Amino acid sequence: MKINKLIDHTLLKPTATTEDIKKLCQEAIEYDFKSVCVNPCHVRIAKELLQGTDVLVCTVVGFPLGANTIKSKVFETLDAVANGVDEVDMVINIGKVKERDFDYLVEEISEVVQAAKGLTVKVIIETCYLTDEEKRLACQAAKKAQAHFVKTSTGFGTGGATVEDVKLMYDEVHPQLEVKASGGVRSLEDLEKMVQAGATRIGTSSGVAIMNKQTTTNNY
């Protein structure tokens, strides 16, 4: 298992500058991570900085609350595609999950999948706010809408990935979809536990520390 190729090297802080993105991309090239995950305004520069490498550019849609309209999520996705993005991590409408509005959830995920034009779409269900039943419902919607991954967390909620949630999500979507664990994965031990539970992608801002077998206090 190539640990580096499980990692989406992440910087989603609102204070992130162009210099921060340059550093992120340099680290991603050095460690050959799967992708960098950045806010939409940084997609174009990240794409330029990573040109000629196999490191992908991932961005977020409807981030971090998920409470945007479907049309706005579609626009964000189209804009990201135009700027050269490779993968899209969208936040599901959490309120609609709580309402059990399955049809709405399928529609919004489907619209984003269509707007992504064949690119990988990961659906962030923000597990910290959901019951196990609601987590399963969100996973079922992502599966029906033909997304590619379900993802635990934004890193901005009240909690991040847990082994229990990753296993629940894996059991619900495998083998059609994959699972991304994000939020609070700070060490190699954390990463290995998530992988053992079924995660095939890890979103973390601690990628460099993990590769150097250190532990950080980063939340995302």
Let me know if 171 is a catalytic residue.
no
Which of 47, 96, 180, 190 is flagged as catalytic? 180
- C-alpha span between 123 and 13 (Å, rounded): 20
CA 116 centroid distance within chain? 15
**Per-position b or e across 125-154, b if 16+ CB within 10 A of its CB:** bbbbbbeeebbbbbbbbbbebebbbbbbbb
Q: Is 151 a catalytic residue?
A: yes
Q: How many CB atoms lie within 10 A of CB 178?
A: 20
Q: Which of 8, 89, 165, 190 is catalytic?
A: 89
Query: For residue 92, what is the DSSP state?
Result: P
Known catalytic residue at 165: no
Catalytic residue from among 8, 151, 165, 190: 151
Active-site residue numbers? 89, 151, 180
